[in-house]
A and B are shown apart, each in its own frame.
Chain A
C-alpha cells in the first residue's frame, strides 16, 4: 500500500493524465517566404477523436505532413506517447504507429484490395505467405470495425467509400494506433459518411486515437471529442467539442463573423430558358447513365439537382455543356440544341448562352500549370476582345483578368501567378469570375464549393444568388444537401439516371430528399 502511494506520488501527473498519444511542441515550417506552420503546440489525448479545422491554406495539411514524415519541421519537437520521436520519413511514422488516410487515395487501381493492403509491408520476399497472412487479418479487422470489403475485389471496381475503407485497413494492417484522416468525407455521400463515422467510433472504442482534418463544421460537431482550430499557420484555439458551437468555430477559423445561411429574396420567375425532354445519355462503356429525364429551368430560378454522386448528374451536366452525347430534345431559349453532331461542343454552347462551372476544377475548370490570365481565356480564346487580327491580345486578357480578380476578390490578385498556386477557394473564384462575367442566360454549376473554405463559400453563394436575381437561369448540381437547400428555388433529385421527383425546398426536408436519393419514392410511405 505504502509502496503504491509512494509511486503514485511520484507519477501523479502521469497517472491522472496519461501521456498524450501525440504532442507537438513549437512546430514551425516555412516554404520560402511562406510560413505554413508557426510555433504550433497541440496535445492529442489517447483514445479520442481530435478534429483539426481551418480554411484551405491554414496549414493543416503541412502539419500532418510533418507528423507523417513528408516534411521536416524547421523547429519543434514531436512526442509520441510521451517519447521524443524523430520522424524523418513515412516509414518512421508507420513504425511509430501513425497511419494516414489521404484525401486523394494512394491505391493501385488495378490491384486487388489484398494486394494494396500488403503493398510495401510484405513480410518476406515471397508474396503468397504475406497475402494469406493479410487475408486472415483483414477478415478479423473487417468484423471488428464494420470495415467489410471484398479482399479480392479490384480497387477500380470499388465505390469511393469502399476505397477509403481500404486505406483505413492499410493503416490498421501496419498496426497504426494513431490514424490521421485528411478531409475524409469530401468524396463521400451522406450515407457513406455516416458509415465512416461509425467505423471511427468503433476504432475509438478500441482505444485508437484519431485525428480528423476537415473544414466541415457539422462533422466536427458530430464526431469529435476535442477540436483545434488553425488559421494562417497558427493554432488559434483548442476546445472541447461539447463546449463550443458551429458559429464560434467558424469565427475562429475565418477570423470574423460568418454568415452560415444564405440570404435571398423570393425568386422572380421568368420564361423557360431551358427545356429538357426525354433526355438519355449512354456512356463510353454502353451504360445508360441518364434515362429519359424531363425538366425545365426558368429565368430567375435556381434549380438544384440533388443526388448521391454517380447517379447521372455529371453526365447530365456534360451533355448540357456540350461535350457529352445524348438523345432526346433540349431547347435553349426555344432553339433545339444539337446533341450528337458537329455543333455539340462546348464552344458552340457558350455562344448559345450557356456558361459552365465544372464539377472538377482541377481536371476541367482550370489548367493548373497555366497562369491565371491564361485560365481566364480558357474556353474564350476566340472572344474578339481577346484578339487583334490574327494574334491574341495577351495584354488585354491580362488586364481583363486583373479586373475580374478584383471584382471577385481573388487573392493574391496577380494574373501572372500559376493557377496551382492559388488556394481552392480562390481557384474556384477564378472559374466563377470567368463564367459569371460572361453574363450567360444559363449557368451550369457543379459542386461549387467542393474543397472551398468557409469564407469563400459565403462569397460564392452570394454570387450565384446575384446572378439569379439578374434573371438568369441556374442549374446547381451538388452532393451537399445543405447547399442544395440553402440555394435552390426548386430541387430535383436524381437516382440511377432518373429524376425521382421535384420538390419545393420549403415543403420538404433532408429526410424526404434522403429517401428520394436512395431511390425510394415517398408515396407508399
Chain B
C-alpha cells in the first residue's frame, strides 16, 4: 500500500472510531464527533429527522457552556454572537443554534455547526483579566517617551474595525510613513497571547492591515503552540523588551520616517 493510502486509512479508521450516535430522547440523537472544549468536554450537537430534512441543533447548550465564565447577555456579546452566527449562516431561536439540512449536505453542515461552536467558545478568552505585570507599564512608558510626537496611543481602537472595543486594544503609533498605523501588542502571558491571536484574526477578517508587532516580556514563558499561532499573524516580533530597547527604537523609527 502506498504511503498516502496508508495514512488515509489510518485517518479514516481513527476518525470513524471517534464518531458515535446515541438516542437521548425519542427521535433526538446526540452526535459524538471528535471536537472538544478546552476543558475536555465534547461538543454537544443533536440531530433530529424532519420529513426529508435533518435539523442539527444544540438546544442552547453551547451558550449555556459559554455562560460559565462569560456574560452572554451583555449587548456587546450579543452582537458578537449574532455576527458569528450570521457569518456561519446558522440560525438561533431563544439560544438554540440550529441548521436545517438535506441529507446529502449533512456532513458539511455538521462541520458548520462545529465551526460555529468553536468560534463561540473563543469569546470567553477575551474577557479574561490579565494579571498586573509591570512589563505592560514599562513598555507603555518606553514607547510613549520615544514616540509621543508620532501619535502614540496606549489603547488604540481602529475605526475601520467593527466591534474593536470588544477585542484587545493594542498600543499604536499612528503617524507613520506607511499610511497605516503600527499596532504593538505587549505579550507577557499565555492568555494574553491568545487574546492577541483572536484580535489580529478579527482585524484581518475585517480587512484591516496595519503593521502588526508583538513585544514579549519573555517569549520563552509562552507555550510554543500559542506563540506559533500568533507568529503566523504578526509582521514582526521582539522576544524580550529588556536590553532590546535600542533595536526596537531603531526598527520603529525606520517605519515612521
Chains A and B form a bound pair: no
B residues with a Cβ closer than 8 A to A are: none
A residues near B (Cβ < 8 Å) are: none
